[in-house]
């Protein structure tokens, strides 16, 4: 992989990872446009590590509050730590649902779902649900103190849809969290923190590429360094931008983008191509 390709992949991954527009779809589109096929899962998971590092650092205070509150409640059952304990439980519940169903659905996702037409349809579906939640569902105002197990189950099921190429993980979690009645701020925070265990868990799929040297030999150390740094920087910028954007604007703009991307993928990419995801 050239340095330029590594930089492009890093930028694309970083910008799209946390926006509700499907990073997987954009990585696939970028591979097709550049004529480069990833060597297995390893490189994509590697880029996800950079994105997760950005989330962990940006939300470090929130993470520490949840972790210490979780541990504290186990030791003293104090009312002060109860909210953070259950917030941590809801993250675990949603992650377990996504993990189990994701494994069960992995075999169901055949070659027909790894083609540009399917990805285009999935992008359009993402855009449709963003419009539905924005235009036809009244936002709730429940915060993390008022969350329930039902919320975590709904979001976990929604997040599972992201196993289909082109369905945005962040979009699915945001839509289902808002549909469940959570406030926008709580839904965004929950979505970001949920990304950490989900993406780290998916790294198991690529453990072989990391341990046998395949990733280094096929991509190259310079390209790995450049792509990681680019992904981290643009993931950070994406997080900051999305949080500020949602304070002032609406999800419908992401829906419009998804529709445009879907049209581009369907009409301008090779529809017979099968992507090894």
**pLDDT tens, residue by residue, 100-150:** 888 787 767 655 566 788 888 999 999 998 898 888 777 778 888 889 999
pLDDT confidence of residue 157: 92
Q: Which one is predicted more confidently, 171 or 269?
A: 171
Q: How far apart are CA 119 and CA 115, in angstroms?
A: 6
- CB distance 167 to 124 below 8 Å: no
If DSSP codes are grouped into helix, strand and coil, which group holds residue 113? helix
Shortest CA distance to 192 belongs to which of 61, 71, 83, 27?
61
- pLDDT, residue 275, reads 57
Segment 234-253, tens digit of pLDDT: 999 999 998 888 877 788 88
pLDDT of residue 239: 92
Distance, CA of 139 to CA of 183 (rounded, Å):
7
| Tokens found for residue 226 | 């450049």
pTM of the model: 0.86
Residue 11 confidence (pLDDT) above 90: yes
Q: Name the token pair of 7.
A: 């930089």
**Nearest one of 140, 170, 144 to 158, comparing CA atoms:** 170
Question: What secondary structure, in 3-state letters, does 206-261 show?
Answer: HHHHHHCCHHHHHHCHHHHHHHHHHHHHHHHHHHHHHHHHHHHCCCHHHHHHHHHH
Secondary structure string (H, E, C) spanning 12-56:
HHHHHCCCCCCHHHHHHHHHHHHCCCCCCCHHHHHHHHHHHHHHH
Distances from the Cα of 147 to the Cαs of 98, 136, 179, 197, in angstroms?
18, 22, 13, 19
What is the pLDDT averaged over residues 167-180? Answer: 87
For tokens 């996504």, the residue is: 98
Q: pLDDT band at 272, cuts 50/70/90?
A: low
């Amino acid at each position: 992989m050239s340095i330029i390709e590594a930089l492009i992949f890093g930028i694309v991954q970083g910008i799209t990872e946390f926006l509700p527009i499907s990073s997987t779809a954009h990585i696939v589109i970028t591979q097709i446009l550049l004529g480069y096929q990833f060597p297995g899962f390893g490189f994509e998971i590697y880029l996800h590590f950079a994105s997760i590092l950005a989330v962990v650092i940006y939300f470090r205070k929130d993470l520490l509050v949840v972790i210490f509150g979780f541990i504290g409640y186990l030791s003293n059952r104090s009312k002060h730590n109860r909210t953070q304990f259950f917030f941590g439980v809801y993250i675990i519940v949603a992650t377990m649902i996504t993990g189990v169903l994701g494994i069960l659905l992995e075999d169901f996702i055949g070659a027909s779902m790894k083609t540009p037409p399917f990805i285009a349809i999935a992008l359009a579906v993402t855009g449709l649900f963003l419009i539905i939640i924005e235009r036809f569902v009244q936002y709730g105002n429940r915060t993390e103190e008022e969350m329930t197990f039902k919320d975590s189950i709904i979001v976990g099921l929604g997040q599972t849809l992201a196993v289909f190429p082109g369905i945005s993980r962040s979009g699915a979690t945001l839509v289902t969290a808002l549909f469940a009645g959570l406030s926008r701020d709580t839904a965004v925070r929950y979505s970001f923190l949920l990304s950490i265990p989900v993406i780290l868990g998916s790294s198991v799929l690529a453990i072989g590429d990391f341990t046998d040297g395949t990733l280094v030999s096929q991509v190259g150390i310079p390209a790995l360094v450049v792509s990681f740094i680019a992904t981290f920087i643009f993931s950070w910028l994406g997080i900051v931008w999305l949080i500020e954007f949602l304070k002032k604007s609406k999800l419908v703009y992401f829906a419009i983008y998804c529709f445009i991307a879907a049209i581009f993928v369907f009409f301008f990419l090779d529809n017979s191509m099968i992507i090894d995801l």
